[in-house]
């Protein structure tokens, strides 16, 4: 989308009737809230719907809502949480009807949604499951992945059972740093069986469409920290998005973002939701955002002015590079342009 400057003198929240936020890296990292996230979201939720779209399948919507309330998001209800296990169950129903037996690789969030839908849950391939559904949980180990591989040994085209993954995020932010995500676990099973899972969560559209329908949103804004899942998914679903630099993706990833995963807004942290979003001005080959300015001459990217806000320099650099239609490896980019003073776990 990358619609910089379309709302001169306005904030990212103007005209928005529902805010959807990712959780890991946007609201919290592990058990702890991301700095400024709670206060900013409480302000954003005044006068508009506030919901959460998460690929993390390890917990139930009830547990997630309780966690958010404990952090200070006091009005959060389970119905405000749209999860990848919920999306996985919708996909599963299209292939296997309850009360079929489903082999689960994952945690309580996945088990809870399957049981609510009327399925029988097993952890063993010996129980002749009708499908495998796989999601992230910290306790998932080799024996769980092995059971999935045993159950998925026959390709689906040859009469094998369906395999649905809640998501394929390669990493997950934790309080101690960045840890392997469900994508690494799905990849391990893929390596063993030589087949691909059907993916339910971001960046697929289904999870966003469920959120829009559930909240009756006409003009939502989605907040995410990953370009490849959050922003790409929102863009595919036709939803405006804001990338917040408090989680996985960094300024260097923003500058290199392909057209399919470019956010409408770039935020240093969620306080920027309340700030006037500066217009992008291009004049005489110079791209200016606020007091930051960048010029591109052939392969050379030059910082004309660093400006007084680091986030505006990232915005100017991204706007200038994206406007060329060329890939990032075709440029010589000064290190200062992708300096990273922004908070992350």
CA-closest candidate to residue 173, choices 181, 182, 165, 185: 181
Residues 104 and 193 in one domain: yes
Q: Is 115 within the bounds of a domain?
A: yes
Instruction: Decide if 126 is catalytic.
Output: no
pTM assigned to the model: 0.87
User: pLDDT for 36-55, tens place per residue?
Assistant: 999 999 999 998 999 999 99
Host domain of residue 168: 85-199
Asked if 330 and 224 sit in the same domain, the reply is: no
* Single residue among 274, 296, 321 that ends a domain in this structure: 274
- Can you give the length of the chain in residues? 345
Catalytic residue chosen out of the listed positions 14, 15, 17, 22:
22
Q: Over the stretch 195-224, which tens digit does the pLDDT of each residue have?
A: 999 999 999 988 998 899 999 999 999 999
- Give the pLDDT score at 9: 67
Residue 211 lies in a domain: yes
In-domain check, residue 229: yes
Please indicate, yes or no, whether residues 98 and 155 belong to a single structural domain of this protein. Answer: yes
- Residues 160, 250, single domain; the answer is no
Q: Does residue 162 belong to any structural domain of this protein?
A: yes
Q: Which stretches in the chain have pLDDT values below 70?
A: 1-9, 344-345
Alpha-carbon distance 250 to 269, whole Å? Answer: 12
- 30: domain CATH number? 3.40.50.1000
What local confidence, expressed as pLDDT, does residue 345 receive?
59
- Dist CA 239 CA 219 (whole Å): 8
Same domain, yes or no, for 92 and 193?
yes
What whole-number distance in Å separates Cα of residue 86 and Cα of residue 104? 14
Of the candidates 238, 251, 186, 181, the residue with the CA atom closest to the CA atom of residue 212: 238
- Give the domain-ending residue among 177, 199, 221: 199
- Whether residue 314 is contained in a domain is answered as yes
Q: What's the number of domains the chain is made of?
A: 3
* pLDDT of 303: 97
Options 14, 15, 17, 24, the catalytic residue: 24
What mean pLDDT, rounded, does the chain reach?
A: 94
Which of 274, 305, 322 marks a domain boundary?
274
228 is catalytic: no
């Amino acid at each position: 989308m990358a619609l910089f400057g379309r709302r001169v003198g306005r904030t990212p929240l103007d005209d928005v009737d529902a805010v959807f936020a990712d959780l890991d890296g946007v609201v919290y990292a592990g058990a702890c809230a991301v700095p400024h996230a709670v206060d900013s979201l409480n302000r954003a939720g005044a006068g508009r719907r506030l919901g959460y779209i998460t690929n993390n399948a390890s917990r139930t919507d009830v547990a997630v809502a309780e966690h958010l309330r404990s952090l200070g998001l006091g009005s959060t209800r389970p119905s405000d949480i749209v999860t990848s296990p919920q999306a996985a169950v919708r996909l599963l129903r299209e292939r296997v009807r309850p009360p079929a037996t489903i082999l689960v690789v994952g945690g309580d969030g996945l088990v809870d949604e399957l049981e609510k839908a009327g399925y029988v849950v097993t952890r063993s391939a010996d129980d002749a499951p009708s499908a495998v559904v796989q999601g992230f949980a910290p306790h998932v180990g080799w024996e769980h992945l092995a059971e999935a591989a045993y159950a998925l040994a026959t390709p689906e085209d040859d009469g094998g059972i369906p395999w649905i993954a809640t998501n394929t995020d390669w990493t997950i932010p934790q309080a101690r740093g960045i840890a392997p995500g469900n994508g690494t676990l799905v990849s391990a099973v893929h390596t063993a069986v030589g087949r691909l899972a059907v993916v339910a969560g971001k960046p697929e559209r289904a999870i966003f469409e469920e959120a829009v329908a559930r909240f009756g949103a006409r003009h939502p804004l989605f907040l995410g920290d990953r370009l490849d899942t959050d922003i790409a998914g929102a863009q595919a679903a036709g939803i405006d998005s804001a990338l917040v630099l408090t989680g996985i993706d960094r300024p260097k990833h923003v500058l290199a973002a392909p057209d399919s995963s470019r956010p409408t807004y770039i935020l240093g942290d969620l306080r920027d939701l309340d700030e006037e979003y500066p217009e992008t001005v291009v004049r005489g080959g110079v791209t200016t955002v606020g007091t930051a300015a960048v010029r591109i001459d052939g392969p050379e990217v030059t910082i004309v002015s660093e400006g007084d806000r680091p986030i505006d320099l990232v915005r100017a650099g991204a706007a200038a590079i994206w406007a060329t239609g060329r890939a990032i490896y075709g440029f010589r980019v000064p290190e200062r342009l992708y300096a990273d003073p922004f908070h992350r776990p």
